[in-house]
């Protein structure tokens, strides 16, 4: 996938997530886990060119670790209000600032690597899906961990056209285990 198309798709994904989560949406486990997993898989499929540049590989490891840390911080910064017994999530100004910082780190790393190793920078530019996916996955895991401790319902998938929300026995069991630990 060429770099321009990748940037456009990443911007679309981030804009979609930002718009929905600024307004507030149910803490939907499927959306918090599956979309990042898809981005990570697509990102991993673009790693072929990185094997030729050790410097680019080091930059990738660094940007992935920074994206993971910023994703976890975003997960902490998200508000988790309750509506009708369901946990909702809403981005804050801090969450947005962390997103901007995350994107700035990725582009800054690409620019710095371009000054050091032009071919490595081109290869690193194709890893945007991976770094964004890792950050989103850590954000989702932190939000889920926090949401499960609230005692309110965490849904697997939002119901469509008036259908009830879908729950997950795995999430419900995990929430029961966490609430029992809190009482011990």
Bridge partner residues of 25 (DSSP): 89
> DSSP string spanning 120-142?
HHHHHHTTHHHHHHHHHHHHHHH
47 pLDDT more than 60? yes
Higher pLDDT, 83 or 48: 83
Q: Kindly report the pTM of this predicted structure.
A: 0.86
Query: What is the Cα–Cα distance from 149 to 106, expressed in whole angstroms?
Result: 32
pLDDT, tens digit, for every residue of 101-111? 998 998 888 88
The pLDDT of residue 123 is: 67
pLDDT, tens digit, for every residue of 75-98? 999 999 999 889 999 999 999 999
The pair of structure tokens assigned to 165 is 């929300």
Nearest Cα neighbor of 78 from 65, 93, 61 is 93
Distances in whole angstroms, Cα of residue 138 to Cα of each of 53, 110, 123, 157: 27, 22, 24, 19
Nearest Cα neighbor of 48 from 112, 113, 119, 115 is 119
**86: part of which helix (H) or strand (E)?**
strand 86-89
Q: β-strand 82-83 against 25-26: which pairing, if any? A: unpaired
């Amino acid at each position: 996938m060429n770099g321009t198309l990748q940037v456009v798709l990443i911007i679309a994904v981030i804009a979609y997530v930002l718009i929905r989560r600024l307004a507030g949406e149910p803490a939907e486990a499927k959306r918090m886990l599956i979309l990042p997993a898809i981005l990570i898989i697509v990102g991993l499929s673009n790693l072929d060119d990185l094997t030729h540049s050790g410097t680019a590989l080091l930059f990738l490891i660094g940007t992935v670790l920074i994206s993971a840390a910023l994703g976890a911080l975003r997960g902490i910064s998200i508000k988790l209000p309750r509506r009708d017994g369901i946990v909702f999530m809403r981005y804050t100004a801090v969450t947005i600032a962390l997103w901007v910082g995350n994107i700035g780190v990725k582009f800054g790393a690409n620019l710095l690597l371009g000054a050091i190793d032009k071919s490595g920078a081109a290869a690193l530019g194709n890893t945007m899906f991976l770094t964004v996916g890792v950050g989103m996955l850590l954000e989702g895991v932190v939000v889920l961990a926090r949401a499960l401790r609230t005692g309110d319902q965490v849904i697997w998938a939002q119901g469509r056209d008036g259908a009830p929300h879908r729950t997950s026995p795995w999430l419900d069991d995990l929430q029961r285990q966490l609430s029992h630990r809190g009482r011990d």
